[in-house]
Structure 1
Amino acid sequence: MQLIKPLYWILVATCLAASPLLAAQDRDDASNEAQQTAPETKGPHGGLLLERDDATVELQIFEQGVPPEYRAWVTKDGKPMTDGVDLNVQLTRLGGQEDTFDFAFQGDYWLGDGVVTEPHSFDVEVTLALNGKKYQWQWESHEGRTRIAADIAEKAGIRTAEAGPGSIERTLTTYGRLTTAPEQIARVRARFPGVITRVNVRLGDRVAKGDLLAQVESNESLKTYDLRSPMDGVVTERQISVGEIAGDRPLFAITDLFTLWAELQVFPGQRTKVAVGQKVLLQAEGFNQQANISHLLPSPNNAPYTLARVKVDNPDGTLNPGLLMAGDIVVETLEVPLAVENRALQPFRDWSVVFIQVGDTYEIRPLELGPSDGTLTEVLGGLQAGDRYVVDNSYLIKADIEKSGASHDH
């Protein structure tokens, strides 16, 4: 079923794109085509050629060796204009943000006063005042953008979250093994020497405190007495069978495996960053658990590391002593003003992006990223607090945008 959802969504989206309703809407918009369609003619510098009566503006986003900037060449009656020009470009982005550029002459071209930030997806309005006459052009220049109806997004499992502050955790990775504490092992002996007349448990059985383990007939009294479990746990040793003589040696070992300890090796270069109480993210194959450092102990046999002991809950008994374990110790928590969930990030061209949502419209937002942990990444630029961005199934948005063949042409 997981594979059917995206396929269903793509098929439905394709059908909607070709529906009579949308075709009718396209016909209604035909009267605005002159203003809404991007110019197709290119000028000698490779920019868009805007023509109206006797005035021409070639407008280009130039980004070779410099941050993206507007450059323009203005002519009247075919003559280049180097003064007396009032040129303005206003960009309206998805969500309503407006960027305005005024132009000053630089000797060879007119230069806009600012950086044209990515994505280069906006509604464009160009205004030229020349010798007391005003000229205006408008068109849509969209890239990295798609529309998905709310019901289709819901069926596809597309979910969004609001961008805001977060906590980034810096971690130190350590390794070790699971073990038991000495107090978690109880060895059961016979109180009096005698013959084992009954054994009630097998190796690996779970027992509760007070459960019958075996019965012994005393050599002195010839009376039978019970051996019972002193604690809840698992029978990890059984050294006796019916008919054997019980002496001083342990007959059973009962081990509490419902609580284990991860003993993580902290080397000298790490020791100053580690303290009792710090949070640890424990991981093994098929296992993840969050806990805290309970003790810091010298290693046995004078080994060159400290043992960080972390209590591990094992209520189902699925973990066993000796299991190799990785522990990411949280050594610092950074409170950042803006962060996104890591699962929302997608590669797009040369960027790491998220996809913002405004109504039924989704669009890329290339991000400048800061520190990251296993869950969140700080955002240094490219997104605003309060923006809604796609968290679940963001790859579907990416696939739809790439399917549409969105260009990066100015």
Structure 2
Amino acid sequence: MKLISSFTKVLFLTSFLFFTGSIFAESGHGDESEHEEEGHIELSNEQIQHAGIVVSTVGANVIRDVLPVYGLVATNAESLQVVNARFDGVVRDVKKSIGDPVRKGETLLIVEANESLKNYSITSEINGYITQRNINIGEKTNETPLLVIQDFSTVWVELSIFPKDLPLVKLNQTVNIQSTDLKNISEGKIIYISPFGQVQSQATKARVLLENSNNIWKPGLFVNANITLDEINAPVSIRNEAIQVIEDKNVVFVKGESGFEPREVSLGRTDGQYSEVLTGLSVGEMYVSNNSFVLKSELGKEDAEHGH
């Protein structure tokens, strides 16, 4: 599966570069007149849009000193309702099935009480979804919960903290949570650190409360997490996606009057999202923050042509 995944990524990148190369060729980008200065790449607005190039401004950002850990999304055990019958009896109607959404105050069941032989309704105390149903029409109520409702508007993320890192972890620390496919990113805070260790993993559990109003975080899924240990103000910083390595040097493409110029930069601290720039860039300059690899590819073509 890893081989297939790698092949798919290579195929996608090759197709993307071929596609952008075709756009450049059709618009005359291959003409020498478009490279007014050596090392500069000129693109029209149409070419920039088709290549998905994003230009941002160099500025200040907060760079975090983080502790990377792994976690597991779990149901918030404080946001559920176990539905039981107030009086023993026979269930005359069940309004909900597993997976159905529920609003607070909504009727869930109708039960005929054994003693009075009168019907009474059971309503929901919370918003959520039916995750268990253990009763059907005509059955008698007992000690088993009739229904279980869970509210997924918040979830827990259970982090595994190893002994060497445990002294660094504190309550109320901010934690950046990322899905394993990197498509979803959220932030929460540590609300609980277990006093017990886990025998098998020899790790201690730290719990993060995470907002989940859009229901993107599914209990049972693994996530990557970065616990913020310290925050540093970097006066000159750029997004990490902007950085390309050319001839073993860190390079950023800067937008100027003559097009996009590859600029060597010296980097300082980084947190996986932003990097501090020590030399090479100034606040206010415009740089390519996304899809700069397209310009790197074009620069390579230009160097190859000049080599002949």
Report the TM-score when normalising by structure 2: 0.80
SS in 1 for 2:168: coil
Q: Distance in 2 between matches of 1:258 and 1:181?
A: 9
> Which structure is higher in RCO with an 8 Å CA cutoff and minimum separation 6?
2
Cα distance in 1, alignment partners of residues 240 and 138 from structure 2: 64
Q: Which runs of 5+ in 2 are unaligned?
A: 1-15
Within-5 A mapping of 1:149-188: 153=48, 156-188=51-83
Contact 1:149 1:360 in 2 (8 A): no
The answer to whether the 8 A contact 2:108-2:121 is kept is yes
Aligned residues: 289
Distance in 1 separating the partners of 2:199 and 2:298: 60
Tell me if 1:331 matches 2:229: yes
Paired AA for residue 403 in structure 1: K
Q: Match for 2:187: what amino acid?
A: Q
Q: 1:359 to 1:283 in 2, by over 3 A?
A: same
Structure-2 separation of matches of 1:246 and 1:157: 61
Q: After superposition, what is the alpha-carbon deviation per residue over 1:16-53, rounded to whole angstroms, capped at 9, x for unaligned?
A: 5469xx9xxx9xxxxxxxxxxxxxxxxxxxxxxxxxxx
Between the aligned partners of 1:316 and 1:149, the Cα distance in structure 2 is 38
Shift of 1:322: 2.5
Please give the alpha-carbon distance, in whole angstroms, between the structure 2 residues aligned to 1:273 and 1:182.
26
CA contact (8 A) 1:340 1:379 kept: yes
Letter in 2 for 1:377: S
Q: Distance in 2 between matches of 1:320 and 1:358?
A: 45
- Counterpart-to-counterpart distance in 2, 1:190 and 1:154: 61
Instruction: Choose which of 146, 163, 184 in structure 2 pairs with 1:287.
Output: 184
Indicate the RMSD between aligned Cα atoms, in angstroms.
Answer: 3.1
> Does residue 254 of the first structure (1) align with residue 152 of the second (2)?
no
Structure 1 distance, partners of 2:134, 2:223, is 31
SS state at 1:146 partner: coil
Q: Give aligned-pair identity as a percent.
A: 32
- 2: CA distance, partners of 1:237 / 1:263: 23
Q: 1:355-405: per-residue Cα shift (whole Å, max 9, x none)?
A: 222213332212222222222112223334443322233233323322222
Tell me which moved more, 309-318 or 232-241: 309-318
- Mapping 1:357-372, distance limit 5 Å: 357-372=255-270
Match of 1:403 in 2: 301
Residue 287 of structure 2 is aligned to residue 389 of structure 1: yes
Name the amino acid aligned to 1:180: T
Task: Using the TM superposition, give the Cα deviation of residue 161 of structure 1 relative to its aligned residue in structure 2, in angstroms.
Answer: 3.0
Query: 1:167-316, aligned counterparts within 5 Å?
Result: 167-285=62-180, 286-299=183-196, 304-316=202-214
Q: 1:401–1:332: structure 2 CA closer, same or farther, 3 Å change rule?
A: same
C-alpha distance 237-279 of structure 1, shift in aligned 2 (>3 A): same
Q: 1:381 to 1:227 in 2, by over 3 A?
A: same
Do 2:68 and 2:225's aligned partners in 1 also have CA atoms closer than 8 Å? yes
Letter in 2 for 1:276: L
CA contact (8 A) 1:9 1:156 kept: no
Write out per-residue CA displacement over residues 211-262 of structure 1, whole angstroms, 9 at most, x where no aligned residue: 1211111121111111211221211221111111113332111122221111
1:301 and 1:385, CA in 2 relative to 1: closer, same or farther beyond 3 A?
A: closer
Secondary structure of 2:219's counterpart equals: coil
- Unmatched 5+ stretches in structure 1: 27-141
CA contact (8 A) 1:144 1:406 kept: no
Kindly name which structure, 1 or 2, has the bigger radius of gyration based on alpha carbons: 1
Tell me if structure 1 keeps the 8 A contact 2:63–2:274: yes
Structure 1 contact 298–305 (Cα < 8 Å) conserved: no
Whole-angstrom distance in 2 between the partners of 1:408 and 1:234? 64
TM-score, with structure 1 as normaliser: 0.62
Note closer, same or farther for the CA distance 1:350–1:221 as it changes in structure 2 (3 Å cut): same
Change (3 A) 1:305 1:403: closer
Give the equivalent residue in structure 2 for 1:9: 24
CA distance in 2, matches of 1:397, 1:181: 46
Equivalent residue letter for 1:218: A
Provide Cα deviations, 1:259-297, integer angstroms capped at 9, x if missing partner.
Answer: 111121222311222222222111224432122222323
CA contact (8 A) 2:158 2:206 kept: yes
CA 1:408–1:329 in structure 2 vs 1: closer, same or farther (change >3 Å)? Answer: farther
Describe the superposition over 1:102-156 as per-residue Cα deviations: whole angstroms up to 9, x where unpaired.
Answer: xxxxxxxxxxxxxxxxxxxxxxxxxxxxxxxxxxxxxxxx653334456754665
8 A contact 2:198–2:204 mirrored in 1: no
How far has the Cα of 1:206 moved from its partner?
A: 1.4
Within the candidate set 244, 247, 266, 1:349 is matched to 247
Distance in 2 between residues matched to 1:326 and 1:154, nearest whole Å: 32
